[in-house]
Amino acid sequence: MISSCVVSLLNKPSLFLNGSRRLHLLNKNAYINGQWVSAGSKAVFPVINPADDKVITEVPDMEAADAKAAVDAASSAFKTWKDTTAKERSYILRKWYDMCAKNTDHLAQIITAESGKPLAESKGEIVYGNSFLEWFADTARHINGEVIPSPWPNKTIMLTRQPLGVVSVITPWNFPFAMITRKVGALMAAGCTCVIKPAEDTPLTALAAAQLAEEAGVPKGVINVVTSSRKNAPAIGKVLCEDPNVGCISFTGSTHVGKILYGMASKGIKRVSLELGGNAPFIVFPSADIEHAAEHAMLAKFRNNGQACVGANRFLIHKDVFDTFVQAFKKRIAKGCIMGPGTKEGVTCGPLINTEQAKKVTGLVDDALSKGAKALIGGKPAVEIGSKFYESTILTDVKPEMKIYAEEIFGPVAVCHKFETEQEVVAIANSTRSGLGSYVFTKDLGQAFRMSRQLDFGMVAINDGILSAAEPAFGGIKESGIGREGSKHGVEEYTDIKYTLFSALDK
Protein backbone atom coordinates (compact mmCIF):
# COMPACT_ATOMS: atom_id res chain seq x y z
CA MET A 1 0.00 0.00 0.00
CA ILE A 2 1.42 3.41 -1.00
CA SER A 3 1.24 6.08 1.70
CA SER A 4 -0.44 9.41 1.00
CA CYS A 5 2.96 11.10 1.44
CA VAL A 6 4.50 9.02 -1.34
CA VAL A 7 1.49 9.64 -3.58
CA SER A 8 1.92 13.36 -3.01
CA LEU A 9 5.58 13.17 -4.02
CA LEU A 10 4.81 11.11 -7.11
CA ASN A 11 2.28 13.71 -8.21
CA LYS A 12 4.82 16.52 -7.91
CA PRO A 13 7.11 17.26 -10.86
CA SER A 14 10.60 16.01 -10.12
CA LEU A 15 13.75 14.71 -11.72
CA PHE A 16 16.75 12.75 -10.64
CA LEU A 17 20.00 14.36 -9.63
CA ASN A 18 23.08 12.09 -9.80
CA GLY A 19 20.66 9.29 -10.58
CA SER A 20 19.23 9.12 -7.09
CA ARG A 21 18.11 12.36 -5.49
CA ARG A 22 14.87 14.03 -6.51
CA LEU A 23 14.38 17.75 -6.99
CA HIS A 24 11.39 18.46 -4.79
CA LEU A 25 9.73 21.91 -4.88
CA LEU A 26 10.18 21.82 -8.67
CA ASN A 27 7.33 23.77 -10.27
CA LYS A 28 6.50 23.90 -13.98
CA ASN A 29 4.05 26.79 -13.76
CA ALA A 30 4.29 30.47 -12.92
CA TYR A 31 2.56 31.92 -9.86
CA ILE A 32 -0.04 34.70 -10.15
CA ASN A 33 -2.68 35.69 -7.58
CA GLY A 34 -2.17 32.51 -5.58
CA GLN A 35 -2.60 30.24 -8.61
CA TRP A 36 -0.09 28.10 -10.50
CA VAL A 37 -0.64 29.13 -14.10
CA SER A 38 0.70 28.67 -17.61
CA ALA A 39 1.38 31.47 -20.07
CA GLY A 40 -1.66 32.88 -21.82
CA SER A 41 -0.11 31.68 -25.08
CA LYS A 42 0.67 28.25 -23.56
CA ALA A 43 4.27 28.74 -24.71
CA VAL A 44 7.13 27.31 -22.66
CA PHE A 45 10.93 27.51 -22.64
CA PRO A 46 13.55 25.10 -21.28
CA VAL A 47 15.62 25.56 -18.13
CA ILE A 48 19.10 24.16 -18.76
CA ASN A 49 21.56 22.64 -16.30
CA PRO A 50 24.82 24.45 -17.21
CA ALA A 51 26.96 21.57 -15.93
CA ASP A 52 25.77 19.08 -18.55
CA ASP A 53 23.56 21.16 -20.90
CA LYS A 54 20.55 18.94 -20.17
CA VAL A 55 17.00 20.26 -19.85
CA ILE A 56 15.78 20.24 -16.25
CA THR A 57 12.20 21.14 -17.12
CA GLU A 58 10.16 23.70 -19.06
CA VAL A 59 8.37 26.72 -17.60
CA PRO A 60 5.87 29.24 -19.02
CA ASP A 61 7.23 31.70 -21.56
CA MET A 62 5.04 34.60 -20.53
CA GLU A 63 4.31 37.82 -22.37
CA ALA A 64 3.22 41.37 -21.56
CA ALA A 65 -0.41 40.37 -20.94
CA ASP A 66 0.68 37.86 -18.30
CA ALA A 67 2.83 40.48 -16.60
CA LYS A 68 -0.12 42.88 -16.61
CA ALA A 69 -2.28 40.24 -14.91
CA ALA A 70 0.39 39.79 -12.23
CA VAL A 71 0.63 43.54 -11.62
CA ASP A 72 -3.15 43.78 -11.33
CA ALA A 73 -3.15 40.92 -8.80
CA ALA A 74 -0.43 42.59 -6.75
CA SER A 75 -2.30 45.90 -6.89
CA SER A 76 -5.50 44.29 -5.65
CA ALA A 77 -3.67 42.49 -2.84
CA PHE A 78 -1.96 45.72 -1.77
CA LYS A 79 -5.31 47.21 -0.79
CA THR A 80 -5.56 44.78 2.12
CA TRP A 81 -1.92 43.85 2.74
CA LYS A 82 -0.96 47.47 3.43
CA ASP A 83 -3.45 47.55 6.31
CA THR A 84 -2.14 44.45 8.07
CA THR A 85 -0.33 45.17 11.29
CA ALA A 86 3.42 45.09 11.49
CA LYS A 87 3.04 42.20 13.92
CA GLU A 88 1.06 40.18 11.35
CA ARG A 89 3.62 40.81 8.62
CA SER A 90 6.41 39.89 10.98
CA TYR A 91 4.70 36.62 11.86
CA ILE A 92 4.20 35.62 8.22
CA LEU A 93 7.79 36.49 7.28
CA ARG A 94 9.02 34.42 10.19
CA LYS A 95 6.93 31.47 9.03
CA TRP A 96 8.38 31.85 5.52
CA TYR A 97 11.85 31.83 7.07
CA ASP A 98 11.02 28.65 8.97
CA MET A 99 9.70 26.95 5.82
CA CYS A 100 12.84 27.82 3.86
CA ALA A 101 15.10 26.67 6.69
CA LYS A 102 13.22 23.37 6.85
CA ASN A 103 13.62 22.91 3.07
CA THR A 104 17.25 24.03 2.77
CA ASP A 105 18.39 20.82 1.09
CA HIS A 106 15.57 20.84 -1.48
CA LEU A 107 16.11 24.51 -2.34
CA ALA A 108 19.87 24.00 -2.62
CA GLN A 109 19.43 21.11 -5.06
CA ILE A 110 17.33 23.33 -7.32
CA ILE A 111 19.89 26.16 -7.19
CA THR A 112 22.70 23.76 -8.08
CA ALA A 113 20.70 22.21 -10.91
CA GLU A 114 19.87 25.49 -12.65
CA SER A 115 22.83 27.73 -11.74
CA GLY A 116 25.61 25.14 -11.58
CA LYS A 117 27.12 26.28 -8.30
CA PRO A 118 28.45 23.58 -5.93
CA LEU A 119 25.88 22.13 -3.56
CA ALA A 120 27.75 23.43 -0.51
CA GLU A 121 27.63 26.96 -1.95
CA SER A 122 23.93 26.56 -2.72
CA LYS A 123 23.26 25.58 0.88
CA GLY A 124 25.27 28.59 1.97
CA GLU A 125 23.12 30.80 -0.25
CA ILE A 126 19.98 29.50 1.43
CA VAL A 127 21.39 30.33 4.86
CA TYR A 128 22.48 33.76 3.64
CA GLY A 129 19.26 34.50 1.78
CA ASN A 130 17.13 33.25 4.62
CA SER A 131 18.90 35.60 7.03
CA PHE A 132 17.11 38.46 5.26
CA LEU A 133 13.69 36.94 5.93
CA GLU A 134 14.65 36.56 9.59
CA TRP A 135 16.02 40.11 9.74
CA PHE A 136 13.03 41.73 8.05
CA ALA A 137 10.60 39.73 10.16
CA ASP A 138 12.11 41.62 13.10
CA THR A 139 12.50 44.92 11.26
CA ALA A 140 8.82 44.97 10.28
CA ARG A 141 7.95 45.96 13.84
CA HIS A 142 10.45 48.82 13.92
CA ILE A 143 9.41 50.97 10.96
CA ASN A 144 8.98 54.10 12.96
CA GLY A 145 7.89 57.65 12.24
CA GLU A 146 8.69 60.94 13.95
CA VAL A 147 6.96 63.65 15.93
CA ILE A 148 8.84 66.88 15.23
CA PRO A 149 8.84 69.88 17.60
CA SER A 150 6.49 72.39 16.02
CA PRO A 151 7.37 76.05 15.41
CA TRP A 152 3.73 76.88 16.20
CA PRO A 153 2.25 76.64 19.71
CA ASN A 154 -1.07 75.08 18.60
CA LYS A 155 0.21 72.60 16.02
CA THR A 156 1.91 69.18 15.93
CA ILE A 157 4.06 67.82 13.10
CA MET A 158 4.02 64.09 12.47
CA LEU A 159 5.96 62.05 9.91
CA THR A 160 4.90 58.48 9.15
CA ARG A 161 6.26 55.86 6.76
CA GLN A 162 3.74 54.27 4.43
CA PRO A 163 4.21 51.43 1.91
CA LEU A 164 4.61 52.74 -1.61
CA GLY A 165 2.59 50.03 -3.41
CA VAL A 166 3.42 47.34 -5.95
CA VAL A 167 7.13 46.63 -6.44
CA SER A 168 8.52 45.07 -9.61
CA VAL A 169 11.33 42.76 -8.51
CA ILE A 170 13.76 41.77 -11.28
CA THR A 171 16.46 39.40 -10.08
CA PRO A 172 19.71 37.91 -11.49
CA TRP A 173 20.83 34.33 -11.97
CA ASN A 174 23.93 34.33 -9.78
CA PHE A 175 22.10 34.32 -6.42
CA PRO A 176 18.58 33.28 -7.43
CA PHE A 177 17.30 32.78 -3.87
CA ALA A 178 19.12 35.47 -1.87
CA MET A 179 18.37 38.28 -4.31
CA ILE A 180 14.67 37.51 -3.95
CA THR A 181 14.57 37.28 -0.16
CA ARG A 182 16.69 40.43 0.24
CA LYS A 183 14.16 42.41 -1.76
CA VAL A 184 10.85 40.68 -1.05
CA GLY A 185 11.47 40.34 2.69
CA ALA A 186 12.03 44.09 2.90
CA LEU A 187 9.09 45.18 0.78
CA MET A 188 6.68 42.79 2.53
CA ALA A 189 7.84 44.08 5.90
CA ALA A 190 7.01 47.60 4.71
CA GLY A 191 3.52 46.53 3.59
CA CYS A 192 4.13 46.35 -0.18
CA THR A 193 3.26 43.60 -2.67
CA CYS A 194 5.31 42.46 -5.64
CA VAL A 195 5.73 40.85 -9.02
CA ILE A 196 8.98 38.88 -9.37
CA LYS A 197 10.63 38.42 -12.76
CA PRO A 198 13.49 35.93 -12.16
CA ALA A 199 16.37 35.56 -14.57
CA GLU A 200 15.69 33.37 -17.59
CA ASP A 201 18.45 30.96 -16.53
CA THR A 202 17.18 30.42 -12.97
CA PRO A 203 13.38 30.66 -12.64
CA LEU A 204 12.94 27.42 -10.69
CA THR A 205 14.38 28.78 -7.44
CA ALA A 206 11.96 31.71 -7.52
CA LEU A 207 9.01 29.36 -8.03
CA ALA A 208 10.17 27.13 -5.17
CA ALA A 209 10.50 30.16 -2.89
CA ALA A 210 6.98 31.26 -3.88
CA GLN A 211 5.60 27.81 -3.05
CA LEU A 212 7.13 27.97 0.42
CA ALA A 213 5.78 31.51 0.87
CA GLU A 214 2.31 30.23 0.01
CA GLU A 215 2.68 27.39 2.52
CA ALA A 216 3.82 29.94 5.11
CA GLY A 217 0.54 31.84 4.73
CA VAL A 218 1.49 34.72 2.45
CA PRO A 219 -1.89 35.89 1.06
CA LYS A 220 -2.64 35.49 -2.63
CA GLY A 221 -1.42 38.33 -4.79
CA VAL A 222 1.22 39.55 -2.33
CA ILE A 223 3.90 37.58 -4.19
CA ASN A 224 3.62 36.84 -7.91
CA VAL A 225 6.23 35.19 -10.16
CA VAL A 226 6.30 35.75 -13.93
CA THR A 227 8.69 33.60 -15.98
CA SER A 228 9.86 34.27 -19.53
CA SER A 229 12.60 33.58 -22.04
CA ARG A 230 15.02 36.28 -23.16
CA LYS A 231 12.83 36.88 -26.19
CA ASN A 232 9.89 38.11 -24.11
CA ALA A 233 11.88 39.74 -21.31
CA PRO A 234 11.89 43.27 -22.86
CA ALA A 235 8.08 43.32 -23.24
CA ILE A 236 7.60 42.11 -19.68
CA GLY A 237 10.16 44.60 -18.41
CA LYS A 238 8.25 47.42 -20.08
CA VAL A 239 5.07 46.45 -18.21
CA LEU A 240 6.89 46.08 -14.90
CA CYS A 241 8.44 49.53 -15.28
CA GLU A 242 5.66 51.54 -16.89
CA ASP A 243 2.37 50.13 -15.57
CA PRO A 244 0.73 52.89 -13.50
CA ASN A 245 0.01 50.45 -10.65
CA VAL A 246 3.74 49.87 -10.11
CA GLY A 247 5.30 52.15 -7.51
CA CYS A 248 8.90 50.95 -7.52
CA ILE A 249 11.32 48.90 -9.60
CA SER A 250 13.87 46.88 -7.65
CA PHE A 251 16.56 45.43 -9.90
CA THR A 252 19.84 43.60 -9.44
CA GLY A 253 21.87 43.02 -12.58
CA SER A 254 24.09 44.68 -15.15
CA THR A 255 24.58 48.43 -15.35
CA HIS A 256 23.53 48.32 -19.01
CA VAL A 257 20.12 46.82 -18.24
CA GLY A 258 19.77 48.98 -15.12
CA LYS A 259 20.06 52.11 -17.24
CA ILE A 260 17.33 50.87 -19.57
CA LEU A 261 14.98 50.12 -16.66
CA TYR A 262 15.82 53.45 -15.02
CA GLY A 263 14.85 55.23 -18.24
CA MET A 264 11.52 53.43 -18.44
CA ALA A 265 10.79 54.07 -14.76
CA SER A 266 11.49 57.77 -15.25
CA LYS A 267 8.44 58.09 -17.50
CA GLY A 268 6.23 57.62 -14.47
CA ILE A 269 8.63 59.22 -11.95
CA LYS A 270 8.76 55.86 -10.17
CA ARG A 271 11.03 54.93 -7.30
CA VAL A 272 13.97 52.73 -8.24
CA SER A 273 16.26 50.52 -6.19
CA LEU A 274 19.17 49.47 -8.41
CA GLU A 275 22.06 47.21 -7.46
CA LEU A 276 24.22 47.13 -10.58
CA GLY A 277 27.62 46.00 -11.80
CA GLY A 278 30.82 46.26 -9.81
CA ASN A 279 34.53 46.51 -10.57
CA ALA A 280 35.87 45.80 -7.12
CA PRO A 281 39.51 46.51 -6.30
CA PHE A 282 41.34 44.16 -3.92
CA ILE A 283 44.21 46.18 -2.46
CA VAL A 284 47.12 44.62 -0.55
CA PHE A 285 49.55 46.92 1.27
CA PRO A 286 53.02 45.90 2.55
CA SER A 287 51.83 45.79 6.17
CA ALA A 288 49.13 43.21 5.39
CA ASP A 289 49.19 39.64 6.62
CA ILE A 290 49.88 38.12 3.21
CA GLU A 291 48.65 34.62 4.00
CA HIS A 292 45.42 36.07 5.41
CA ALA A 293 45.03 38.30 2.34
CA ALA A 294 45.54 35.35 -0.02
CA GLU A 295 42.99 33.29 1.87
CA HIS A 296 40.42 36.06 1.63
CA ALA A 297 41.30 36.63 -2.03
CA MET A 298 39.93 33.13 -2.63
CA LEU A 299 36.63 34.16 -1.02
CA ALA A 300 36.44 37.50 -2.79
CA LYS A 301 37.29 36.11 -6.23
CA PHE A 302 36.09 32.52 -6.52
CA ARG A 303 32.81 32.51 -4.63
CA ASN A 304 30.24 31.37 -7.21
CA ASN A 305 33.17 30.93 -9.61
CA GLY A 306 33.69 34.69 -9.82
CA GLN A 307 30.08 35.38 -10.81
CA ALA A 308 29.27 37.93 -8.11
CA CYS A 309 28.74 41.68 -8.36
CA VAL A 310 30.98 42.25 -5.32
CA GLY A 311 33.59 39.77 -6.54
CA ALA A 312 37.15 41.12 -6.59
CA ASN A 313 37.91 42.19 -10.15
CA ARG A 314 41.26 44.01 -9.94
CA PHE A 315 43.99 42.82 -7.58
CA LEU A 316 46.20 45.82 -6.78
CA ILE A 317 49.27 44.55 -4.92
CA HIS A 318 52.13 46.67 -3.58
CA LYS A 319 55.37 45.95 -5.45
CA ASP A 320 57.18 44.95 -2.25
CA VAL A 321 54.80 42.05 -1.60
CA PHE A 322 53.57 41.34 -5.14
CA ASP A 323 55.54 38.15 -5.74
CA THR A 324 54.85 36.81 -2.25
CA PHE A 325 51.12 37.42 -2.55
CA VAL A 326 50.81 36.04 -6.08
CA GLN A 327 52.62 32.83 -5.14
CA ALA A 328 50.46 32.36 -2.05
CA PHE A 329 47.35 33.03 -4.13
CA LYS A 330 48.46 30.66 -6.90
CA LYS A 331 49.14 27.89 -4.38
CA ARG A 332 45.65 28.22 -2.94
CA ILE A 333 44.02 28.23 -6.37
CA ALA A 334 45.86 25.07 -7.38
CA LYS A 335 44.73 23.32 -4.22
CA GLY A 336 41.30 24.83 -3.59
CA CYS A 337 39.70 25.43 -7.01
CA ILE A 338 38.30 22.06 -7.99
CA MET A 339 36.12 22.12 -11.10
CA GLY A 340 33.19 19.88 -11.86
CA PRO A 341 29.41 19.48 -11.61
CA GLY A 342 28.03 21.10 -8.48
CA THR A 343 26.62 17.79 -7.27
CA LYS A 344 30.03 16.07 -7.25
CA GLU A 345 31.70 15.64 -3.87
CA GLY A 346 34.57 18.06 -3.28
CA VAL A 347 33.84 20.40 -6.20
CA THR A 348 34.33 24.09 -5.39
CA CYS A 349 34.01 25.65 -8.87
CA GLY A 350 31.07 24.81 -11.09
CA PRO A 351 30.37 25.95 -14.65
CA LEU A 352 29.71 29.45 -15.86
CA ILE A 353 26.00 30.11 -16.17
CA ASN A 354 25.60 29.98 -19.96
CA THR A 355 27.34 29.94 -23.31
CA GLU A 356 27.42 33.75 -23.58
CA GLN A 357 29.22 34.07 -20.25
CA ALA A 358 31.73 31.36 -21.18
CA LYS A 359 32.45 33.14 -24.47
CA LYS A 360 32.87 36.47 -22.70
CA VAL A 361 35.43 35.17 -20.19
CA THR A 362 37.32 33.26 -22.88
CA GLY A 363 37.39 36.31 -25.14
CA LEU A 364 38.69 38.64 -22.42
CA VAL A 365 41.52 36.29 -21.46
CA ASP A 366 42.46 35.45 -25.05
CA ASP A 367 42.63 39.16 -25.91
CA ALA A 368 44.91 39.83 -22.93
CA LEU A 369 47.22 36.89 -23.68
CA SER A 370 47.49 37.90 -27.32
CA LYS A 371 48.68 41.36 -26.25
CA GLY A 372 51.36 40.21 -23.81
CA ALA A 373 49.63 39.26 -20.55
CA LYS A 374 50.87 36.15 -18.74
CA ALA A 375 48.74 33.39 -17.21
CA LEU A 376 50.47 32.13 -14.07
CA ILE A 377 47.81 29.46 -13.68
CA GLY A 378 44.80 28.54 -15.83
CA GLY A 379 44.04 30.68 -18.84
CA LYS A 380 41.77 28.50 -20.96
CA PRO A 381 38.39 26.73 -21.05
CA ALA A 382 38.21 23.34 -19.32
CA VAL A 383 36.53 21.66 -22.29
CA GLU A 384 37.36 18.21 -20.96
CA ILE A 385 34.79 18.79 -18.18
CA GLY A 386 32.05 20.59 -20.09
CA SER A 387 31.20 23.41 -22.47
CA LYS A 388 30.82 26.08 -19.79
CA PHE A 389 33.78 25.39 -17.51
CA TYR A 390 36.76 27.75 -17.34
CA GLU A 391 40.02 27.23 -15.46
CA SER A 392 40.68 29.35 -12.37
CA THR A 393 43.18 31.89 -13.66
CA ILE A 394 45.75 34.47 -12.55
CA LEU A 395 46.85 37.05 -15.13
CA THR A 396 49.79 39.43 -14.76
CA ASP A 397 51.35 42.06 -17.04
CA VAL A 398 47.90 43.34 -17.99
CA LYS A 399 47.98 46.72 -19.73
CA PRO A 400 45.32 49.43 -20.22
CA GLU A 401 44.92 48.59 -23.91
CA MET A 402 43.63 45.12 -23.03
CA LYS A 403 39.86 44.72 -22.74
CA ILE A 404 40.12 42.92 -19.43
CA TYR A 405 41.92 45.89 -17.82
CA ALA A 406 38.76 47.89 -17.19
CA GLU A 407 35.88 45.48 -17.76
CA GLU A 408 34.01 43.54 -15.09
CA ILE A 409 35.01 39.92 -15.74
CA PHE A 410 32.28 38.02 -13.87
CA GLY A 411 34.29 34.83 -14.05
CA PRO A 412 37.19 32.93 -12.39
CA VAL A 413 39.97 35.25 -13.56
CA ALA A 414 42.13 37.30 -11.16
CA VAL A 415 44.02 40.18 -12.78
CA CYS A 416 47.02 41.22 -10.64
CA HIS A 417 48.66 44.67 -10.93
CA LYS A 418 51.59 46.26 -9.06
CA PHE A 419 51.48 49.66 -7.39
CA GLU A 420 54.01 51.74 -5.48
CA THR A 421 52.22 54.44 -3.47
CA GLU A 422 48.97 54.88 -1.59
CA GLN A 423 48.04 57.85 -3.77
CA GLU A 424 48.64 55.79 -6.92
CA VAL A 425 46.49 52.85 -5.82
CA VAL A 426 43.60 55.10 -4.80
CA ALA A 427 43.68 56.70 -8.25
CA ILE A 428 43.72 53.30 -9.98
CA ALA A 429 40.96 51.91 -7.77
CA ASN A 430 38.73 54.93 -8.35
CA SER A 431 39.30 55.05 -12.12
CA THR A 432 35.99 53.37 -12.92
CA ARG A 433 32.37 54.41 -13.18
CA SER A 434 31.49 51.46 -10.95
CA GLY A 435 31.41 51.88 -7.20
CA LEU A 436 29.99 48.86 -5.40
CA GLY A 437 32.39 46.85 -3.21
CA SER A 438 36.10 47.18 -2.45
CA TYR A 439 38.63 45.30 -0.33
CA VAL A 440 41.69 46.58 1.53
CA PHE A 441 44.32 44.60 3.42
CA THR A 442 46.53 46.51 5.83
CA LYS A 443 47.57 46.45 9.48
CA ASP A 444 48.02 50.24 9.51
CA LEU A 445 44.95 51.63 11.30
CA GLY A 446 45.37 55.12 9.90
CA GLN A 447 45.72 53.73 6.41
CA ALA A 448 42.57 51.67 6.89
CA PHE A 449 40.59 54.79 7.80
CA ARG A 450 42.09 56.73 4.90
CA MET A 451 41.09 54.00 2.48
CA SER A 452 37.55 53.96 3.85
CA ARG A 453 37.32 57.68 3.26
CA GLN A 454 39.12 57.93 -0.08
CA LEU A 455 37.79 54.93 -2.00
CA ASP A 456 34.76 55.87 -4.12
CA PHE A 457 32.75 52.76 -3.36
CA GLY A 458 29.56 52.18 -1.43
CA MET A 459 31.19 49.42 0.61
CA VAL A 460 34.74 48.96 1.87
CA ALA A 461 35.90 45.76 3.58
CA ILE A 462 39.06 46.03 5.63
CA ASN A 463 41.00 42.74 5.93
CA ASP A 464 38.02 40.65 4.80
CA GLY A 465 36.89 39.13 1.51
CA ILE A 466 33.20 38.83 2.39
CA LEU A 467 31.18 41.93 3.28
CA SER A 468 27.49 41.14 2.80
CA ALA A 469 25.03 40.26 5.55
CA ALA A 470 21.46 41.14 6.50
CA GLU A 471 22.44 43.77 9.07
CA PRO A 472 24.59 46.26 7.06
CA ALA A 473 23.34 48.48 4.23
CA PHE A 474 24.36 46.90 0.91
CA GLY A 475 24.68 49.10 -2.15
CA GLY A 476 26.86 51.16 -4.43
CA ILE A 477 27.50 54.63 -5.78
CA LYS A 478 28.16 56.05 -9.24
CA GLU A 479 26.93 53.58 -11.89
CA SER A 480 26.72 50.72 -9.42
CA GLY A 481 23.27 51.69 -8.30
CA ILE A 482 20.80 53.65 -6.24
CA GLY A 483 19.47 52.74 -2.82
CA ARG A 484 20.41 50.18 -0.18
CA GLU A 485 19.40 46.63 0.64
CA GLY A 486 19.56 44.93 4.01
CA SER A 487 19.60 46.83 7.32
CA LYS A 488 16.74 49.10 8.36
CA HIS A 489 17.47 51.17 5.24
CA GLY A 490 16.45 48.23 3.08
CA VAL A 491 12.88 48.49 4.39
CA GLU A 492 12.81 52.26 4.12
CA GLU A 493 13.48 51.96 0.36
CA TYR A 494 9.89 50.70 0.02
CA THR A 495 8.19 53.45 2.02
CA ASP A 496 7.10 57.01 1.41
CA ILE A 497 7.32 59.61 4.15
CA LYS A 498 3.97 61.26 4.81
CA TYR A 499 3.86 64.58 6.62
CA THR A 500 0.69 65.23 8.64
CA LEU A 501 0.07 68.58 10.31
CA PHE A 502 -2.32 68.64 13.27
CA SER A 503 -3.54 72.19 13.78
CA ALA A 504 -6.02 74.12 15.92
CA LEU A 505 -5.10 71.97 18.91
CA ASP A 506 -6.04 74.86 21.19
CA LYS A 507 -9.64 75.01 19.92
Q: Would you please indicate which residues are annotated as catalytic (active-site) residues?
A: 275
DSSP 317-361: EETTTHHHHHHHHHHHHHHH--BS-TTSTT--B---SSHHHHHHH
229/201 Cα distance (integer angstroms): 8
- Length of the chain counted residue by residue: 507
- What is the end-to-end Cα distance of the chain in Å, rounded? 78
**Helices and strands, counts by H and E, the chain:** 15, 22
271/173 Cα distance (integer angstroms): 23
CA-closest candidate to residue 126, choices 148, 147, 146, 107: 107
Pair 140, 90: CB distance under 8 Å: yes
Reading phi first (left if > 0) and then psi (alpha if -120 to 50, else beta), residue 227 is in beta
Q: Which residues contact 3 (CB under 8 A, 6 or more apart)?
A: none
322/304 Cα distance (integer angstroms): 25
478/10 Cα distance (integer angstroms): 51
CA-closest candidate to residue 299, choices 181, 439, 487, 139: 439
